[in-house]
Amino acid sequence: MSYGGEGSEGKYGTLPPYYENLFRQTDVERQESFSSKVFYNGLPALGACVGVGLYNSATRRPLHAGIQKYFIAAPIAMFLGEQLRKYYQRNAAERDAMLRHYIMLHPEDFPEPKRKKFKDVFEPWIPER
């Protein structure tokens, strides 16, 4: 089954327009959010510094002893956090590609949903005082 318009023409055809819009990324989704940067880069670096500090305190050393360990552990943790983010993005892209491919192979299992109007969804309401 082939649908006109813009879509991902491929070996198996295209997605129905409704599902094509579901899989299309918006500009907001393409941008990396500030919280994502903090979560995947900042928190591992903070955790590494806290870990080095706890190690120093457990071995009864001053917190500033071995300051080079902080400067070594933080970038390593940031790098590992970035790799984790890329891993999650690759898995999500692969999952979306598999779903898109399955929908293309079995369009009869994915009919376009009927659009409902608000008047059909909400019950009648009469305001009372």
Alpha-helical regions (H) of 2-129: 17-23, 27-30, 34-37, 43-58, 67-105, 118-121
CA distance 39 to 119: 42
What's the confidence (pLDDT) of residue 9?
Answer: 59
What's the confidence (pLDDT) of residue 5?
Answer: 44
What's the confidence (pLDDT) of residue 43?
Answer: 93
What's the confidence (pLDDT) of residue 109?
Answer: 87
**Residue 64 structure tokens:** 């500033």
Per-residue pLDDT of the chain in tens (129 residues, 90 and over written 9): 444 444 455 666 777 778 887 778 777 777 777 888 888 889 999 999 999 999 999 999 998 899 999 999 999 999 999 999 999 999 998 998 899 889 888 888 888 888 888 888 888 888 887
